[in-house]
Structure 1
Amino acid sequence: MNIYAARVAEGTLRADAAQESVLPMLERVRAQLASQPTGKKGLLSLIGGRKKPEPITGLYLWGGVGRGKSMLMDLFYDHAPVPARRVHFHAFMQEVQDGINTARKAGTPDAIAPVIEEIASEIKLLCFDEMQITDIADAMIVGRLFEGLFAKGVTVVTTSNRVPDDLYKDGLNRQLFLPFIAILKERLEVHHLHSPVDYRQGRLTGTPVYFQPVDAEARAAIEDIWTDLTGGATESLTLKVKGRDVVLPRFHNGIARASFWDLCGQMFGPGDYLVIAGAVKLLILEDIPRLTRSNFNEAKRFVTLIDALYEAKVRLVCSAVDEPESLYVEGAGAFEFERTASRLREMQDASWGEAEDGA
């Protein structure tokens, strides 16, 4: 793609052989989409007896965090020749679930059919950021959903941190999910973006990721990090967990930004934080207060949140009233907080969270 070469020439991108290997695949999809009949002419050609256009093979681009998957997909999406939508996979599946529930309430026998029909009537290309399945409700419908979308001529380009065979790994009733993996491998070209460079990690190298105290200097530094990583994005992401809304006030390409009170001031539990950790690759958490008896419940939630982020290897940037060891020094739970303080220290290391591609 000439666009990529132009970005390299102007210095906004660094040439990367692994990324360049993806460009012909994206160009193939773009050219095939551009050559499809559209509008009245296309409709008349079908009525006149011409063959229905061959389905277009999409692209499943997987690899480690920070390798440029989302960047490449965004370049492709920005120049899509057909009606298209770019959406985080979690958000898309929540919309689908809402549509199915609405159809069921209306008494529609096959509740997923109108959802497929509505999507296919509006777009011809779906670009997903971070395809992953963590919810059994999603796992049970994606096969039928995507089979229907593909049959309606919708093309899919998606990024993921996992190879298709590892989606919904160890999930409940996974055998019912396996046909979806087969559909993906049949309808999408699967490519491993195996770049040795983690660009997201590199942009934080040498940059502090734990700011204290919470003052104007800390806020300005965090704002600079957010702008550098996301361009100053303002969109939010709503995750549904067992019917509840878990809102990340600012989200872009796997990077989220929220305050302590956004995530720990509400009655969230381990399941909510596991979903957040599954949807986010880097979290900016602001305004962590002093933790005492007066905010014991919030402190417990904070411990659970950090555990979930730690186990999922989510990078953390945060601002707090004091150093980790001094956040919680008295009251029930202070002794147990020592492990959380240790994890907060470990997560500040520049190499923390690094993993092999696909992890």
Structure 2
Amino acid sequence: MAKIIHLTQTTPNLSVDELLAGFHPSYRFGEVSFNTYRPDPNQPSQAEAVSKLSNFAQTVGKNNGGGLFSKLFGKKTTAKNGMYLDGGFGVGKTHLLASLWHASPGPKAFGTFVEYTNLVGALSFRRTVEVLSEYKLVCIDEFELDDPGDTVLMSRLMRELSDAGVKLAATSNTLPGALGEGRFAAVDFQREIKTLSEQFDVHRVDGVDFRHRGLPDAPQPLDDSAIEDFATERYPEATLAVDDFAELVAHLHKVHPSRYRQLLAETDALVLHNVDTITDQSIALRFVVLADRLYDKDVPIVASGKPFSELFTAEMMAGGYQKKYYRAVSRLTALAREGQVGEPAL
């Protein structure tokens, strides 16, 4: 028989160690390796990326010029402490980054750009530097800058980690020198952006942009009175998180985004009553983080109200954070199709 819980009644309190324990590849990339990556023979840059990252993995945990002492008194080196994979959506960058993480010795961290900025918010900048400086490798997936504060924050964090000898690896669909373009006056922050780009050797991963074929069709929302019966029948042995959408949105405002992974720890499927359009951008960005954690955990969704294609306003979908919102809509729609139609979320 399905177990019913409510996210709105869950407020996770995590220690530093518990927070950091979540910095690993998601369920979807929990067992990938360089051997399971299938390079497109028509795109030689993909096989080159495997070779470069395999070699880079061999340097993790070894001092090859990193660290402040070496910088001051050691021999000069042109080797960089970071690898940066640039390329479009759907070419396997996250697969490659997760493969690097699995192939490297620990301690090590793997998280999205947003998860690292949230970690700083939860621990403070100085404490985050202290903790991550003890790591051998820090992997940053979906590296993207959306505002000047994040630009300064991440440039400082990467610089200090690099000075401590930590290896860095990142993925993005934006070259380091172009980070922030289209979202704020990037020209005013060229010094910080240049600092970021200098941390990495950049490798372009070419390929077919599979996920730019448009958003999948959102399934028709179910009748509100029927969604709980529908979910318990479809998932009879699961733990179902059943919540009113407006109440969940209000609750997210009280829970730090760094704790959203733990918020969903017991959830096998999500049942949402009365989904509606979010009009407040700060709340919308929190829901984007929740969508990423739901997708990471592959949590199917059963919902009533508006379809997820109407989750954000037209202004949001056309604004500076549009990539985040499109990703969230795409992922939530895929999870809703999985929950209501039985189509696996890819």
Sort the TM-score into its range (normalised by shorter chain). Answer: 0.5 to 0.7
Aligned to 2:334: 317
Alpha-carbon RMSD across the aligned residues, in angstroms, is: 4.9
Aligned to 1:228: none
Residue type of the alignment partner of 1:189: D
CA contact (8 A) 1:59 1:190 kept: yes
Q: Identify which of 99, 116, 128 aligns with 1:75.
A: 99
CA contact (8 A) 1:268 1:301 kept: no
Any idea what SS the aligned residue of 2:334 has?
strand
Residue type of the alignment partner of 1:4: F
**Displacement of 1:260 after TM fit?**
3.7
CA contact (8 A) 2:90 2:208 kept: no
**Displacement of 1:273 after TM fit?**
1.9
Structure exhibiting the larger radius of gyration computed from Cα positions: 1
Question: CA distance change for structure 1 residues 249 and 187 in 2, over 3 Å: closer, same or farther?
Answer: closer
CA contact (8 A) 2:253 2:286 kept: no
Deviation digits for residues 215-273 of structure 1, max 9, x if unmatched? 359956xx9xxxxxxxxxxxxxxxxx998645766999xxxx865459759x8723332
Q: Identify which of 55, 66, 89 aligns with 2:90.
A: 66
CA contact (8 A) 2:279 2:312 kept: no
Residue type of the alignment partner of 2:281: P
Alpha-carbon distance between aligned partners in 2 of 1:170 and 1:197, rounded to the nearest angstrom: 21
Please tell me whether residue 23 in structure 1 is matched to residue 53 in structure 2: no
CA contact (8 A) 1:96 1:115 kept: yes
Residue type of the alignment partner of 2:115: A
Structure 1 unaligned blocks of 5 or more: 8-12, 38-42, 101-111, 224-240, 292-298, 324-359
CA contact (8 A) 2:81 2:167 kept: yes
Q: Identify which of 89, 98, 105 aligns with 2:113.
A: 89
Alpha-carbon distance between aligned partners in 2 of 1:125 and 1:248, rounded to the nearest angstrom: 24
Alpha-carbon distance between aligned partners in 1 of 2:95 and 2:142, rounded to the nearest angstrom: 12
Alpha-carbon distance between aligned partners in 1 of 2:97 and 2:263, rounded to the nearest angstrom: 17
Question: CA distance change for structure 1 residues 244 and 134 in 2, over 3 Å: closer, same or farther?
Answer: farther
Please tell me whether residue 210 in structure 1 is matched to residue 234 in structure 2: no
**Displacement of 1:115 after TM fit?**
3.6
Aligned to 1:286: 301
Any idea what SS the aligned residue of 1:287 has?
strand
Deviation digits for residues 134-161 of structure 1, max 9, x if unmatched? 2443223222222111111111101112
CA contact (8 A) 1:270 1:304 kept: no
Q: Structure 1 length normalisation: TM-score? A: 0.56
Alpha-carbon distance between aligned partners in 2 of 1:288 and 1:269, rounded to the nearest angstrom: 21
CA contact (8 A) 2:231 2:271 kept: no
Aligned to 1:305: 312
Alpha-carbon distance between aligned partners in 1 of 2:263 and 2:173, rounded to the nearest angstrom: 18
Question: CA distance change for structure 1 residues 65 and 302 in 2, over 3 Å: closer, same or farther?
Answer: closer
Aligned to 2:180: 168
Aligned to 1:127: 139
Query: Structure 2 matches for 1:1-359, cutoff 5 A?
Result: 4-5=34-35, 7=36, 13-17=37-41, 18=43, 19-33=46-60, 35-36=62-63, 56-100=80-124, 112-120=125-133, 122-172=134-184, 174-196=186-208, 198=210, 210=219, 213=222, 214=227, 215=230, 219=234, 245=256, 259-260=271-272, 269-274=280-285, 276-277=287-288, 286-289=301-304, 291=305, 303-305=310-312, 307=314, 308=316, 312=323, 313-314=326-327, 315=330, 316-317=333-334, 319=336
CA contact (8 A) 2:301 2:335 kept: yes
Q: Structure 2 length normalisation: TM-score? A: 0.58
Question: CA distance change for structure 1 residues 81 and 56 in 2, over 3 Å: closer, same or farther?
Answer: farther
Equivalent residues, number = 263
**Displacement of 1:125 after TM fit?**
1.0
Q: Percent identity?
A: 19
Alpha-carbon distance between aligned partners in 2 of 1:78 and 1:149, rounded to the nearest angstrom: 20
Alpha-carbon distance between aligned partners in 2 of 1:301 and 1:271, rounded to the nearest angstrom: 18
